[in-house]
Amino acid sequence: MRRIAVVPGSFDPVTLGHLDVIERAAGLFDELHVLVVHNPGKTALLPISRRVELLQKSIRDAGIAGNIVVASWSMGLLVDYCLEVGASVLIKGIRSQVDVAYETPMAIVNRNLAAVETVFLLPDPAHAHVSSSLVRQVAALGGDIAPYVPEAVAEFLQKAPV
Ligand code: PNS
């Protein structure tokens, strides 16, 4: 049986922390879907199509594209996407206890909705302080985001400052 997992997120933009979790997850499953989902609780920086493009480029540049599919989802529940592609596992990166507290209720609800389990992965502690919202803030104020994001993202945001 093919083991298929989904890494969902806003990825606005993808960070080195995300990429680290994606690479670890890709090593654990036969097929990994990296799924851009609109989070209505957040003010967006990039349109979904650009986030998908930057994810695809960053994953290609990192040399880990072999078993990874990048997609977006706006048709309803995240677990509906999982059912559509035959995924039984969601992957979430955990940086701290704050992430555990945020992710736990969603993991329980997703399991109740469709028997989709959530697996928490720990990124390299070097990325523990990195978040898309911090990157958005630093970029908006003209700071250097290169240490926190894949090259493709740094290049794009330098060319098209926010
Ligand atoms: O990167 P983010 O913004 O922390 O990702 C949050 C995301 C997109 C994974 C979360 O908002 C989500 O799961 N949205 C899907 C909507 C859904 O299915 N909700 C019901 C079960 S929790």
* Tens digit of each residue's pLDDT (9 = 90 or more) over 45-92: 999 999 999 999 999 999 999 999 999 999 999 999 999 999 999 999
User: Is 141's pLDDT higher than 80?
Assistant: yes
Peptide bond into 13 cis (omega under 30): yes
Query: Is 137 inside a domain boundary?
Result: yes
Per-residue pLDDT averaged across 14-37, rounded? Answer: 98
Query: Is 61 inside a domain boundary?
Result: yes
Mutate to test the pocket of ligand 1, among 18, 91, 106, 112 (most ligand atoms within 8 A of CB): 106
Query: Is 10 inside a domain boundary?
Result: yes
Mean per-residue pLDDT over the chain, rounded? 96
Q: Which domain holds residue 37?
A: 4-157
Rounded Cα gap, residues 71 and 35, in angstroms = 5
Lining ligand 1 with CB less than 6 A are 8-10, 37, 39, 42, 77-78, 106, 109-110
- Residue 89's CATH number: 3.40.50.620
pLDDT at site 162:
66
Query: Is 162 inside a domain boundary?
Result: no
pLDDT at site 161:
63
Rounded Cα gap, residues 27 and 67, in angstroms = 9
pLDDT-derived band at 140 (thresholds 50, 70, 90) equals very high
- Backbone dihedral angles phi then psi of residue 118, each to the nearest 5 degrees: -110, 130
Per-residue pLDDT averaged across 107-114, rounded? Answer: 98
Residue nearest to atom 15 of ligand 1 (CA): 78
